[in-house]
Amino acid sequence: MSKDNQILEEFTSKEYEHGWSVNYEADEAPIGLNEDIIRWISAKKDEPQWLLDWRLKAFRAWEKMTEPEWANVHYPNIDLQKLRYYSAPKQSKKAKNLDEVDPELLQIYERLGISLNEQKRLQGIAVDAVLDSVSVGTTFKETLGKLGIVFCSFSEAVHSHPELIKKYLGSVVPMTDNYYAALNSAVFSDGSFCYIPKGVRCPMELSTYFRINAANTGQFERTLIVADEGSYCSYLEGCTAPQRDENQLHAAVVEIYAAKDAEVKYSTVQNWYPGDKNGKGGIYNFVTKRGICAGDNSKISWTQVETGSAVTWKYPSCILKGDNSIGEFYSVAVTNNYQQADTGTKMIHIGKNTKSRIVSKGISAGHSQNSYRGQVQVMKRAHNARNFSQCDSLLMGSKCGAHTFPYIDIQNSTAKVEHEATTSKIGEDQLFYCNQRGIATEDAVALIVNGYAKEVLNQLPMEFAVEAQKLLALTLEGSVG
């Protein structure tokens, strides 16, 4: 066995770090999908009638839709009737605050390195922890509350701020937007809700940590962020799942609304279980993320580091409606073994002088397939719209693939759209050069990859940039061939 193969072998036998699961008594919906299940979920959450009606409307629309097939990913048909749509850890009584949450559940997060204990937390980050279908707790609620910031689980917000939910739910991603968004609208269970009032600059990072624990259960969370005029917030989402042989479905919807002069920065470090080295198991990650720069001079910035999931299908997008609004998309997507990712963004320029910037860095190793799919659309009214797109692909080994599908649609002649793309391979020369300076191959790969992804990693909040760097190195360990 050559040295490279040997390293590859060592890596692939390395276990996914977060592959464990915990047994707890769960409150579960029966398996299957129909109107009764939706009523069951809605009743479980004690929802108002209007929300149940909204769900049912989405369900009826979904029934008429078909699964999209245009993405460059291949997977066996998912039998949605064999999934469970709600699973929640049973708690004797409803926890009013974190002190009342079952310590066993808090331990799950401790084990993931996410302490929900406010004293122990890194200063400056508030966390909403979502386990399977429910939020188990949100930290720093009081601190944020003093500024008028609402940060809580979605279910809680339905009761505490129904007027906001009613106004913004589905306003960015309509319930019938696409197959998985419609499914999510019908069965979503929990997620995070965040509202930043006028002129408030959120003083800490807000974050949601999603964990799938139960088997045969789909996770359908819904996140809604509303930034009122002149406000600012930075939001981070992290995710992991146990290692299971069967595939699990994760179909989330994230909506961001930015009013006049508001700015939202949304970062994701996605590390769902990617399946084993032969491509068995792993999460199907079919996610709809979209933000609207509704007011003038608003800004939405997406940063994603995608290392997990067996199949990823995800296009965080910006609708640039307000004049002078700005949309940004920074992405590093890493695929190894048999992972498949079809990810990118849509920038829709509607307002005048709108600007968008796309920086996508794909890294493919093993037998994986990595596609960038991006759309830049400049509407008639969008005078002086500007877009710059840069799509780079890095290949490691000779069995993986990198694909780029850029779509550009310009209806205004004053628009300036630039697209740059490169494809490169980690060279033997680069590795040898590092080796010759005393740097081991593994560390050399980490160094080169992090250098390649630097522009994107720089966009992440400090604490997470370090995590993301480690994660990149871990995902690619030994994948040089």
Partner 1 sequence: MLSIKNLHASIEGTPILKGINLEVKAGEVHAIMGPNGSGKSTLASVLAGREEYEVTQGEVTFKSKDLLDLSPEDRAREGVFLAFQYPVEIPGVSSTNFLRTAVNQVREYRGQDPLDAVKFLTLIKEKMKLVEIDQKLLSRSLNEGFSGGEKKRNEIFQMAMLEPTLSILDETDSGLDIDALRIVSNGVNQLKSDDKATIVVTHYQRLLDYIIPDFVHVLYNGKIVKSGTKELALELEEKGYDWIKEEADKATV
- What are the residues binding partner 1 (CB under 8 A)? 3, 427-430, 432-441, 443, 447-448, 450-455
Q: Whose structure tokens read 């909506």?
A: 255
Minimum Å gap between C-beta 230 and partner 1 is: 35
Minimum Å gap between C-beta 387 and partner 1 is: 23
Could you give the CA distance from residue 441 to residue 251 in angstroms, rounded to a whole number? 37
Minimum Å gap between C-beta 314 and partner 1 is: 24
Minimum Å gap between C-beta 99 and partner 1 is: 41
Centre a 10 Å sphere on the Cβ of residue 261 and count the other Cβ atoms it contains.
21
State which residue, 407 or 433, has the beta carbon closest to partner 1.
Answer: 433
Structural tokens at position 376: 């830049």
Could you give the CA distance from residue 71 to residue 61 in angstroms, rounded to a whole number? 22
- DSSP string for residues in 142-207: HHHHTTT-EEEEHHHHHHH-HHHHHHHTTSSS-TTSSHHHHHHHHH----EEEEE-TT-B-SSEEE
Strand partners, 288: 253
Kind and range of the H or E element at 37? helix 35-44
State which residue, 111 or 454, has the beta carbon closest to partner 1.
Answer: 454
Minimum Å gap between C-beta 473 and partner 1 is: 12
Strand partners, 247: 282
Could you give the CA distance from residue 284 to residue 464 in angstroms, rounded to a whole number? 24
Q: Whose structure tokens read 């522009």?
A: 455
State which residue, 243 or 450, has the beta carbon closest to partner 1.
Answer: 450
φ, ψ of residue 268 to 5 degrees: the values are: -125, 135
State which residue, 113 or 427, has the beta carbon closest to partner 1.
Answer: 427
Q: Whose structure tokens read 């300076």?
A: 437
State which residue, 26 or 447, has the beta carbon closest to partner 1.
Answer: 447
State which residue, 297 or 475, has the beta carbon closest to partner 1.
Answer: 475
Could you give the CA distance from residue 116 to residue 283 in angstroms, rounded to a whole number? 25
State which residue, 415 or 431, has the beta carbon closest to partner 1.
Answer: 431
CA–CA–CA angle 146, 152, 157 (5° rounding)? 105
State which residue, 246 or 420, has the beta carbon closest to partner 1.
Answer: 420
Residue type, 83: L
State which residue, 375 or 450, has the beta carbon closest to partner 1.
Answer: 450
What is the separation of C-alpha 200 from the centre of its chain, rounded to a whole number of angstroms?
25
Minimum Å gap between C-beta 453 and partner 1 is: 7
Q: Whose structure tokens read 């069965």?
A: 187
Minimum Å gap between C-beta 465 and partner 1 is: 13
State which residue, 131 or 426, has the beta carbon closest to partner 1.
Answer: 426
Minimum Å gap between C-beta 455 and partner 1 is: 7
Minimum Å gap between C-beta 361 and partner 1 is: 10
Structural tokens at position 313: 């299908």
Q: Is 218 left (phi over 0), alpha (psi -120 to 50) or beta?
A: beta
Minimum Å gap between C-beta 441 and partner 1 is: 7
Residue 149 near residue 126 (C-beta atoms within 8 A): no
Could you give the CA distance from residue 304 to residue 237 in angstroms, rounded to a whole number? 9
